[in-house]
Structure 1
């Protein structure tokens, strides 16, 4: 079978608090070949990894990410909500994640969370940091804000982009090609085998999200996707190993 990217959604978020360094490190230990994370901006323009625009759910604090400085955000506890064992786990910066994966054969899917809060200058800042860390070949920028991805592509044509979407789109591969995106990241229920095939014919890969049920993983693989975004990278890795073993036995 063809190689499928195992992309850990917010890190190994089934067993660790999402979007923390311990979740990213654990994802690699569990067999992930890629990490997906969410980026927002602090009040002083630093790039921080957190999903929600507000701090309540994962950092136990009132208010919005955008209203606090980086130093203040770093003092918050982003682990206790998940389990007491992770108490004191801080919100990381994008640079910390780059430091973890730089030079490794790990794909980094950075989702721009700028659909609700229109972070001014986010695209330029992210690309600047990518350049500083020489991560152009490892990073894919994704977002539900497709206008933002077009802006990224205009600034940095060499950095890959991927379109996130929830609903069925008509000929999504043509839409992606028009936006010069190299990937489609559809919600798992919006995936169709013929569209995966048509996209690949245009050099566009399909990585559905968030696929946690083993049966759904099998279905996505049967549809020919090139990667799967999951909270359970170890489960996906095991399924892929079993498939490869079965295929090899079949050849013999």
Structure 2
């Protein structure tokens, strides 16, 4: 079965990276949730994609410069639709609480490529262990050095390399970094590399795949998971899906 990982929750129909988006994703058939982790100025782990607050929280400034209580006071839903007014920027702990006890995969993307959040890896690992979710979590990042650090801190937690462009033998690179999975942009995926990765014990989970024809193409290539904004569309396809030969 191909895992359906909801990108920032059900972000096509709800404001991204909010609890309503995460809840809705599970209702729409997602078997996993992807979200973005950053840190407040006072060291709390929060779930928001952009390094700045302008687009999704209606405020000026950087996430890294805002205290947790200030971040929680912002409206993270109204920008998407007024029916979601009052949605808050969640803490990581809120999402961990949502999925605990469920058979749900959780992809935590560390947003530490532009902002170097000191201590983020330790805090994320501690939270995952505290909630007993080591087997359900995959930590991903475009910052591959950060993933190596996570693996050294917690060998039992899976890591995944995010990348945009095609890499040469990416499965070899993943193995060198002790990563469990590749998270390539959809255009960087080929059938041959998916097969080769799997032969090396590395799974492939492309992002962000929303078009039904592209979802089918990725499944035909043999990927193990797809990160999508439209989990309901993918779930519907899975109901009638038959791989091509």
TM-score (ref. length: structure 2): 0.98
Give the Cα–Cα distance (whole angstroms) in 1 for the partners of residues 77 and 183 of structure 2: 28
Per-residue CA deviations over 1:91-131 (Å, capped at 9, x if unaligned) read 00000000000121100000000000000000001001111
Residue of structure 2 equivalent to 1:65: 63
1:144 paired to 2:142: yes
Residue of structure 2 equivalent to 1:173: 171
Residue of structure 1 equivalent to 2:218: 220
Find the residue that maps to 2:88 and give its secondary structure.
coil
Give the Cα–Cα distance (whole angstroms) in 2 for the partners of residues 46 and 5 of structure 1: 29
Residue of structure 2 equivalent to 1:31: 29
Find the residue that maps to 1:37 and give its secondary structure.
strand
Q: What displacement does 1:18 show?
A: 0.1
Structure 2: which 5+ residue stretches go unaligned?
none
Q: What displacement does 1:203 show?
A: 1.2
Residue of structure 2 equivalent to 1:202: 200
- CA RMSD of the aligned region, Å? 1.0
Correspondence for 1:53 among 43, 51, 54: 51
Q: What displacement does 1:84 show?
A: 0.3
Find the residue that maps to 1:109 and give its secondary structure.
strand
Give the Cα–Cα distance (whole angstroms) in 2 for the partners of residues 209 and 128 of structure 1: 27
Structure 1: which 5+ residue stretches go unaligned?
248-252
Residue of structure 1 equivalent to 2:15: 17
Residue of structure 2 equivalent to 1:250: none
Find the residue that maps to 1:153 and give its secondary structure.
helix
Per-residue CA deviations over 1:51-73 (Å, capped at 9, x if unaligned) read 00000000000000011111110
Find the residue that maps to 1:119 and give its secondary structure.
coil
What is the correspondence of 1:39-188 to structure 2 with a 5 Å cutoff?
Answer: 39-188=37-186
Could you list the structure 1 runs, at least 4 aligned residues long, displaced by more than 2 angstroms after superposition.
none
